[in-house]
Chain A
Amino acid sequence: MPIQKGITFVIDKTTNFFGYFGEIDALRTENKNLKETNEKLFYENTILSQYEEENKNLKQLLEMKNLYQTYEGIGANVIGKDSSNWYKVITIDKGTARGVKENSVILANGGLVGHVWEASELTSTSTTANSSKVLSIIDDRSSVSAEVARTGDVGIVNGDIELVNEGLCVLEINVESEVIKGDQIVTSHLSSIYPPGIPIGTVEEVADGKNGLTRYAYIKPYVDFKHLKNVLVINYKQGE
Chain B
Amino acid sequence: MIMLIVSFALLRGNKEGSIIGIVAGLLHDLSFSMTVGPTAIIYGLIGYVCGTFNKNFYRENFILPFICTLCSSLFYSITCIFSFMLRGKLNIIFFMKSIAIPEMIYTITLSLIAYQITYLINEKLEMSERKTRNIF
A residues in contact (CB < 8 Å) with B: 80, 82-87, 89, 91, 117-118, 133, 135, 140-141, 161-162, 165
Contact = CB atoms under 8 A, between A and B. Distances in A.
A interface secondary structure, majority: loop
B91 A82 contact: no
Interface string B62-99: 00000000000000000010001001010100110011
B32 A165 contact: no
20 contacts: A82-B32, A84-B32, A85-B103, A86-B84, A89-B33, A91-B31, A91-B32, A117-B34, A118-B34, A133-B31, A133-B32, A135-B34, A140-B84, A140-B87, A140-B89, A141-B34, A161-B95, A162-B91, A162-B94, A162-B98
Contact of B32 (A80, A85, A141, A161): A80
A85 to B, nearest CB: 5
Contact of A165 (B80, B87, B89, B98): B98
A89 B103 contact: no
Nearest to A85: B99
Interface of B: 1, 28, 31-34, 80, 84, 87, 89, 91, 94-95, 98-99, 102-103
Contacts of A87: 32
A141 B32 CA distance: 14
Contacts of B33: 89
A141 B80 contact: no
B51 to A, nearest CB: 23
B32 A86 contact: no
A182 B103 CA distance: 35
B98 A86 contact: no
Contacts of B91: 162
A133 B35 CA distance: 11
B117 to A, nearest CB: 19
